[in-house]
Amino acid sequence: MTEGAQSQSQHIKGRTEDQVIQLDTDESKTMLKPNQQIRPLIPNKCIRDFALKLYGMNVLKFEELDSFEDRNYHIIVDPVINNNYIKDLSKTGYVLKVLNLKDSKTPGFIEINSPYIFHMMKYMEGEIAITKPYVPVTLFNIGKFAGRLQNALEDFDNAFLRERVFQWNLAECSRILDFVFALESKEYAQLVNIIIKEYIKEVKPVLGQLRKGKTPSDSSVFLTDKCT
């Protein structure tokens, strides 16, 4: 290949990659709209089929876990597993995650996460933060754990994540006002309105001056026994 042709090829490749990133990070595709249903509809009978066909696991019992967008299932499986990649059986079971309808159509998101629409993880026992009283020591430990996680991810970089507009990003929290109608408590709705409007007034104007960091989208699901 000549130097000119190689340069043109690299230019086309770079332009194509930019287009893919733009396609995957299109705000209309990444931002959730009010009343938009994106959680996959999965009949319970399919959970056993997924686990067996994809991971060689025979499910003895399962229950669905709380989740915002995806479907997560805590499964207990037969000790005999037909999967050479699984060396040790997790006595606490596994979590079968099925990506939501929005992210499952986004190649960049799939690649950086699993890279599959289905994902199997070991289940970790414990109590999540949202079920515990909001006392200072618990909040302090959650903040400390989030800080450790932030430091661990400090040098991580990915073109897709760098460009993608996440609805869970604190910089996008003003969009919460579009969803306040879903709150059953008028008191909570009023409180959220006050907080978000103060954010828009005080924080948003200086957002560009603040240091960006990487944290999980929701710290309320941290296991409290891991935040000590």
User: Among 97, 122, 147, which residue terminates a domain?
Assistant: 122
Tokens of 36: 């938009």
Least confident span in 35-39, 112-116, 188-192: 112-116
In a domain, 193, yes or no: yes
In a domain, 37, yes or no: no
User: Which pLDDT band holds residue 10 (cuts at 50, 70, 90)?
Assistant: very low
Domain that residue 67 falls in: 45-122
Predicted confidence at residue 30, as pLDDT, reads 62
In a domain, 40, yes or no: no
In a domain, 36, yes or no: no
Predicted confidence at residue 1, as pLDDT, reads 41
Question: Do 155 and 114 fall within a single domain?
Answer: no
Residue 113: which CATH number?
A: 3.30.200
User: Which pLDDT band holds residue 14 (cuts at 50, 70, 90)?
Assistant: very low
227 pLDDT above the threshold of 60:
no
Number of structural domains (the chain) is: 3
In a domain, 38, yes or no: no
Tokens of 148: 């450790």
Q: Which long-range contacts (CB under 8 A, 24 or more apart) does 22-26 make?
A: 22/163, 24/106, 24/107, 24/108, 24/109, 24/160, 24/164, 25/108, 25/160, 25/163, 25/164, 25/165
The pLDDT tens digits for 71-101 are: 999 999 999 999 999 989 999 999 999 998 8
Question: Do 144 and 219 fall within a single domain?
Answer: yes
How far apart, in whole angstroms, are the C-alpha atoms of residue 117 and residue 110? 7
- For 130-146, what is the mean pLDDT? 84
Question: Do 20 and 72 fall within a single domain?
Answer: no
Question: Do 62 and 97 fall within a single domain?
Answer: yes
In a domain, 210, yes or no: yes
Question: Do 72 and 102 fall within a single domain?
Answer: yes
Question: Do 165 and 187 fall within a single domain?
Answer: yes
**Secondary structure of the chain in HEC code, one letter for each residue:** CCHHHHHHHHHHHHHHHHHHHHHHCCHHHHCCCCCCCCCCCCCCHHHHHHHHHHHCCCEEEEEEECCCCCEEEEEEECCCCCCCCCCCCCCCCEEEEECCCCHHHCHHHHHHHCCCCEEEEECCCCCEHHHCCCCHHHHHHHHHHHHHHHHHCCCCCCHHHHHCCCCCCHHHHHHHHHHHHHCCCHHHHHHHHHHHHHHHHHCHHHHHHCCCCCCCCCHHHCEHHHCC
Question: Do 24 and 113 fall within a single domain?
Answer: no
Question: Do 158 and 75 fall within a single domain?
Answer: no
Question: Do 137 and 116 fall within a single domain?
Answer: no
- For 136-151, what is the mean pLDDT? 86
Question: Do 65 and 103 fall within a single domain?
Answer: yes
Q: Is the pTM here over 0.85, yes or no?
A: no
In a domain, 35, yes or no: no
